[in-house]
Amino acid sequence: MAEINLLRALPKSKRNVAKREGAKNSEVVRISKEYGEQYFDGPREYGYGGYRYDGRWIQVARDIVEHFDLKAGDRVLDVGAAKGFLIKDLMAVCPGLEVFGVDISEYALMHCEPEVVGRLHLGSADHLPFPSGSFECVLAINSIHNLRRDRCKTALREIQRLSKGRAFVQVDSYRTKEQKDIFESWVLTAEFHDYPDGWINLFNESGYTGDYYWTIIN
């Protein structure tokens, strides 16, 4: 288990925390947690403000392939795949790689990239409908923190079961009280979040031995 930033090539998002804080209320949070059109393609206060493919995951895909030494014929699972942007780019940078995804959002799956049609499954991270050890690598980027702590633990066990520890998980976190305050004013969907030490305790409780990193709002 190692801390490694596999998303370092992503451009930094411009977040207007003050504007989000002013618009955030229980109804906005409720709608966001439906993971429907408003969350992905509605106004920014509900989520992404337009979740469209722009190629930003290509270098991340290259880094993942290199890190896990993936090759044609290997099977990879993306947990929280949304519209399949990373799946598309993984297949592009490593032709012959067999990449699949799971997401809880029917809307995202119905608006996926054409290249990933048939590769996406509707489901939750804490109940992955695949045989044990059936993937050379499992990815869960900014997804499992949308579950309660007990369900996060189950999701980590599921990821471990499918990957035998060849996995990468990135979750919402913060290193200082100031970062925690900023995060809590911004977050819409995370059910569980903690400082890195708290997450590492959860990884250990779950028996998770894969790699990990943090999404921190500054």
Kindly provide the b/e burial profile for residues 135-171, where b requires at least 16 CB atoms within 10 angstroms of the residue's own CB. Answer: bbbbbbbbbbbbbeeebbbbbbbbbbbbbeebbbbbb
Q: List the structure tokens of 150.
A: 């007990």
Task: Read off the pLDDT band of 24 (50, 70, 90).
Answer: confident
Task: Read off the pLDDT band of 43 (50, 70, 90).
Answer: very high
Contacts of 27 (CB under 8 A, 6+ apart): none
Residue 14 clears pLDDT 70, i.e. is over it: no
pLDDT of residue 218: 79
CATH class name, domain 17-215: alpha beta
- 8 Å CB contact between 65 and 72: no
pLDDT of residue 46: 94
pLDDT of residue 186: 87
Q: What is the pLDDT of residues 96-147, one digit of tens each?
A: 999 999 999 999 999 999 999 999 999 999 999 999 999 999 999 999 999 9
Mean pLDDT of the chain: 95
pLDDT of residue 21: 56
Tell me the mean pLDDT in the region 186-210: 97
Residue 171: phi and psi, rounded to 5, are -140, 160
Task: Read off the pLDDT band of 29 (50, 70, 90).
Answer: very high
In Å, how far are 9, 20, 101, 103 from 92, measured between CA atoms? 17, 35, 15, 21
Tell me the mean pLDDT in the region 27-39: 96
pTM recorded for the entire structure: 0.94
Task: Read off the pLDDT band of 4 (50, 70, 90).
Answer: very high
pLDDT above 90 covers what percent of the chain?
91
DSSP 156-206: HHHHHHHHTT-EEEEEE--SSHHHHHHHHHH-SS-S----HHHHHHHHHHH
Task: Read off the pLDDT band of 194 (50, 70, 90).
Answer: very high
Q: Is 153 helix (H, G, I), strand (E, B) or coil?
A: helix
